Structure 1
Amino acid sequence: MFYLNCHACLEQLRMKAENESDVKRGPITMIVGPSDVGKSTVCRILLNYAVRMGRTPVFVDLDVGQGAISIPGAI
C-alpha cells in the first residue's frame, strides 16, 4: 500500500500543477537510501503507475553501478 499511497500523492501534485501553474511541470522526486533496500524497485513501481495514468515521467539514474531500469549513467 505504501507504493499506491506515494503514487496517489504524486498524482495529486501533478494535477495541482496542471491546474494552477503556467509551467505544466509536476513534482520532482528523489529516492535515496542505503544499498539493497529497494530504491530501484520503488522507482520502477512509481514509473509504471505514472505511465498507466498517461503521464510521461523522466527518470534519471545516477547510480552508475546499478542499471536496473536503464543503462547505467544514461538519462
Structure 2
Amino acid sequence: MFQIKLTVVALAAVFLLAGQANALADNDVDACNGDNHYDLGHSCAFKGPQGKSEGTCQKSNSSDPDSSAVLICQTS
C-alpha cells in the first residue's frame, strides 16, 4: 500500500513540474511577439546558433520613432 502511495505522489510531482516548463522561441522575433506579447524591455530567450540566447525585447530599429515597430530579442 505504501508503494502505491509513493508512486502516485511521484507521478503527481512529475506532472506538476512538467507543466512549469517554458517553451523556447525559434527566433529573436518570435521571442517577443506572437504568443508571448512581451513589452519593450521584457526579458526573452530563443534558440540561437550556439544554443539558448537570452536578452531583452527591443524595437527592431531603435532609431525608428514608429511605436509599432516589431520587437526583437536583443542579446547582450
TM-score by length of 2: 0.27
More strand, by proportion? 2
TM-score by length of 1: 0.27
Larger radius of gyration: 2
